[in-house]
């Protein structure tokens, strides 16, 4: 009996850790511009990396040429972080930054909203009134 209580207690402690390790928006998402982004947990935050894009299919060795930082322009575009540092709950994640490899610009503030299991709204702001929102679709 005592062993069963200990096992039940350990199971309850493990449940919150699993929620952090597998946030609701985790998975592969298609962007309107033809990009494919893998969203996953990075510690207690949410992050996303570019894993494919139309331009990468034509030129797999494409580099991050549009980056504003000259030191980063030679890094491969595949795998570049496009979402970093988002924290929050199961449906809304805020406080992170977004990187747009096409323009080389970083939106220092963003918001990710899980509309439903297959729809993600990604909003990035360069300034308080200068924001852009995209709707991403989950790849099954």
Per-residue pLDDT reduced to its tens digit, 83-123: 999 999 889 999 999 999 999 999 999 999 999 999 999 99
Asked, for residue 130, whether it belongs to a domain, the answer is: yes
Asked, for residue 66, whether it belongs to a domain, the answer is: yes
**What pLDDT shows up at residue 140?**
83
Asked, for residue 15, whether it belongs to a domain, the answer is: no
Asked, for residue 11, whether it belongs to a domain, the answer is: no
**What pLDDT shows up at residue 98?**
96
Q: Please give the helix or strand (H or E) that residue 42 lies within, else none.
A: strand 36-42
Asked, for residue 65, whether it belongs to a domain, the answer is: yes
Q: Measured between alpha carbons, how far is 68 from 72 in angstroms, rounded to an integer?
A: 8
Contacts of 19 (CB under 8 A, 6+ apart): 90
DSSP code, position 115 = E
pLDDT at 8 over 50: no
Asked, for residue 109, whether it belongs to a domain, the answer is: yes
What is the per-residue pLDDT across 29-63, written as a single tens digit (0 to 9) for each?
999 999 999 999 999 899 999 999 999 999 999 99
**What pLDDT shows up at residue 127?**
87
**What pLDDT shows up at residue 23?**
62
Asked, for residue 34, whether it belongs to a domain, the answer is: yes
For position 110, which CATH number holds?
2.40.128.520
Quote the number of domains for the chain. Answer: 1
Judge contact between 50 and 39, C-beta under 8 A: no
pLDDT at 18 over 50: no
**What pLDDT shows up at residue 17?**
38
- Range of the structural domain that residue 132 is part of: 23-138
When comparing pLDDT for 96 and 4, which is higher? 96
Work out the average pLDDT over 1-15. Answer: 36
Asked, for residue 78, whether it belongs to a domain, the answer is: yes
* Alpha-helix runs per DSSP H in 2-138: 2-21, 54-58
Sign of the Cα pseudo-torsion (103, 66, 78, 54, in order) = positive
């Amino acid at each position: 009996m005592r062993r069963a209580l200990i096992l039940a207690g350990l199971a309850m402690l493990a449940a919150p850790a699993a929620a952090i390790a597998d946030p609701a928006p985790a998975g592969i998402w298609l962007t309107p511009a033809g990009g494919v982004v893998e969203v996953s947990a990075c510690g207690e935050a949410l992050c996303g990396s570019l894993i494919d894009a139309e331009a990468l299919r034509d030129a797999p060795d494409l580099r991050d040429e549009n980056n504003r930082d000259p030191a980063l322009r030679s890094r491969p575009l595949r795998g570049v972080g496009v979402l970093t540092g988002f924290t929050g709950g199961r449906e809304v994640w805020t406080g992170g930054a977004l990187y747009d490899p096409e323009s080389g610009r970083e939106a220092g503030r963003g918001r990710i909203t899980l509309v439903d299991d297959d729809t993600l709204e990604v909003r990035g702001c360069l300034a308080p009134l200068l924001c852009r929102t995209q709707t991403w679709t989950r790849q099954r």
